[in-house]
Structure 1
């Protein structure tokens, strides 16, 4: 049975790989990213993509309209888009925090809110967080905005699972360790992560399709390293 899947942050890294995995498995995908060209170039028949900025309030209406017109329902939402800032706290102003939180927290909340009315029993909302957002995990200087935003969506996931527990919709959050992506390279030039974007995409692909049978309101730490 093919499912209808929405994925954010699809222009590169894990999101880019996820779109291809779901498409190859015969699912319908709405790929959302500020830069839609990398997905467009793949020319996958069951994939729709358009430019989508999590900070643009009108963009969410476009998503709602697409679902109403084409799908009627959504089976899986993967909140994968993320903004990573590596900057000393003394230089991290309110505007820096706003940029990071707009994508990593407010965008996740708003897209989830828009998509939820189209979800039914056994649907799954998967949000991608980071090990840096897990209480008690090793922390790194320069990531005050990023890691605190990733902590916020962990708690948000727990709250949504409670609020929607009677609907049969599951909400889970994956705290990823270091994955070799362009975003990581930009923030930490030269750092070599132990996991590739494709390897992590395979895990998220499987978890999105099956994890809701076993988990709801849960944080899973997906990391084989300290960061």
Structure 2
């Protein structure tokens, strides 16, 4: 398999961390984006780590400069970064609600926008959403900001698939069920999800490389349990 240029967000832990290592160990060139960086990623010869906050314009500019000067082409873009807030709706402040959307929606839109000139025929943009963002799925109290933001990126991906289909760029969404990550434990202490971060990373890895052959503008529900 020809080595690809792959961008992954949210690589400091969990699924994003596992994905970065999987792709890099196969020889792909990985740009790992997160606010914090991990030593194992920094030291890997196939990984470039940028410590960025994608809700800030300056960080978006930094990523764009790297792509322009180094990658010049983006084969796979995985929007994995996410912020989760578990709090009763009436207690959520406007700034807290806005922050969730800055990370989960606006960051996705901004990063996609700067990558558009570098996406070629056959490129695949994968957005990691949640079962909570699926219309008609079971909803859970306290996740108004998080789940609604995950619904927003589903619609965004569907629209982008239509807008760029003539260029041969595919946009798909994986709506995940619960995965046993640190973020899940922070929001729901003590809950044991059926899948580990590495197990889910295996699935996303394969889908990112081959899913665009079969899907475009689709939302795949990746969940074996509820929640």
Q: Which residue of 1 aligns with 2:117?
A: 117
Count of aligned pairs: 226
Q: Which residue of 1 aligns with 2:3?
A: 2
Q: Which residue of 2 aligns with 1:27?
A: 28
Q: Which residue of 2 aligns with 1:64?
A: 64
Q: Secondary structure at the match of 2:30?
A: strand
Q: Which residue of 2 aligns with 1:215?
A: 215
Superposition deviation, residue 38 in structure 1: 4.1
Aligned-partner Cα distance in 2 for 1:40–1:159? 33
Q: Which residue of 2 aligns with 1:37?
A: 38
Q: Secondary structure at the match of 1:166?
A: helix
- Kindly provide the CA deviation profile for residues 163-192 of structure 1, in whole angstroms up to 9, marking residues without a partner as x: 111000000000000000000000000000
When normalised by structure 2's length, the TM-score is 0.98
Superposition deviation, residue 92 in structure 1: 1.0
Aligned-partner Cα distance in 2 for 1:95–1:9? 21
Q: Which residue of 2 aligns with 1:82?
A: 82
Q: Which residue of 2 aligns with 1:205?
A: 205
Superposition deviation, residue 37 in structure 1: 3.3
When normalised by structure 1's length, the TM-score is 0.98
Q: Which residue of 2 aligns with 1:142?
A: 142
Q: Secondary structure at the match of 1:105?
A: helix
User: Is the Cα contact below 8 Å between 2:21 and 2:41 reproduced in 1?
Assistant: no
Question: Which ranges of structure 1 fall in alignment gaps of 5 or more residues?
Answer: none
Superposition deviation, residue 147 in structure 1: 0.2
Aligned-partner Cα distance in 2 for 1:199–1:19? 14
User: Is the Cα contact below 8 Å between 1:40 and 1:49 reproduced in 2?
Assistant: yes
Aligned-partner Cα distance in 2 for 1:138–1:206? 27
Cα RMSD for the two superposed structures: 0.8
Note if 1:173 corresponds to 2:173: yes
Question: Which ranges of structure 2 fall in alignment gaps of 5 or more residues?
Answer: none
